[in-house]
Structure 1
Amino acid sequence: MAEGTKDSGNGSRDKSPDEAALSARLGSLDHRLSAIRDGRKIGTDPSGNEQDAAQAKASAMAVGLRLSSELVAGVLVGAALGWGFDRLLSTSPWGLIVFLLLGFVAGVINVMRAAGVMAKQSERL
């Protein structure tokens, strides 16, 4: 029994430097992992400049969609009116041609008007 007790005493002395080394390695690993997590958190969180750029891009896309819809709506309304007048007055292609061109002109004017208003708003900012 004395030998068993003596071995366990020596064993605990042998484990204590190993445990200290293990604790040091675990502490080092924890420190490195926390540094990596912080780096990922900073990398994924957009800063103020990146958020502003994303908002500007989304705003520009919204403006482009609005301007294109203004033009398409003008052309479609002109075509519909021309087709309607052709049906009522039996002037087969002429009403469609004339009102299609008028719709295109109206669409371009609406786009220029909307772009001019938006340019004035951006100057105020």
Structure 2
Amino acid sequence: MTDRKGSLEDRLKRLDAELAERRGKEEAGTAAEERASESRKGYAVAMKLSSEFVAAVIVGALLGYLLDHFAGTGPWGMIILLLLGFCAGVLNVMRAAGLVASPHPVDRLAGRDPGGRDGTGKTDGA
């Protein structure tokens, strides 16, 4: 009887060791998958931000070219609108990254800045 009891205890210890080993491997695999997922999310955000910036510059250059072509303004339309496209691209990237908050629609319609001031320089309560 004791031999059987000892055999069961040995098998139980081996089973516990195997389960612990498998759990460790699964946890390592889960952690690796989480890191890969974060990496993919970062890559997606980088692609989004870069495409927004490039699109704004290209649109500005295209509009400047069309203005120069139809109005005959020389290179000035393209230069000015290319710079405006660059500025719009930088602003879009900063907004998407959360560095610049977009104004609240109510504040934009009322002509107020988000700091609570109206156009006269007085606060709302005064």
TM-score normalised according to structure 1 size: 0.57
Listed one character per residue, the Cα deviations across residues 62-88 of structure 1 (whole Å, up to 9, x for unaligned) are 000000001000000000000000011
The alpha-carbon deviation at position 47 of structure 1 amounts to 1.6
1:60 aligned residue (15, 26, 42):
42
The alpha-carbon deviation at position 46 of structure 1 amounts to 5.8
1: CA distance, partners of 2:59 / 2:86: 9
Matched position secondary structure for 1:59: helix
Matched position secondary structure for 1:47: helix
In structure 1, the residue matched to 2:71 is 89
Q: Which has the higher helix share?
A: 1
Listed one character per residue, the Cα deviations across residues 1-41 of structure 1 (whole Å, up to 9, x for unaligned) are xxxxxxxxxxxxxxxxxxxxxxxxxxxxxxxxxx9xx99xx
Q: Which has the larger radius of gyration?
A: 1
Q: Which has the higher contact order (CA 8 A, sep 6+)?
A: 1
1:116 aligns with 2:98: yes
1: CA distance, partners of 2:45 / 2:29: 24
Matched position secondary structure for 1:92: coil
Runs of 4+ aligned structure 1 residues displaced above 6 Å come to none
1: CA distance, partners of 2:88 / 2:98: 15
User: Which ranges of structure 1 fall in alignment gaps of 5 or more residues?
Assistant: 1-34, 118-125
Identity of aligned residues (%): 46
- Alpha-carbon RMSD: 2.3
The alpha-carbon deviation at position 49 of structure 1 amounts to 1.0
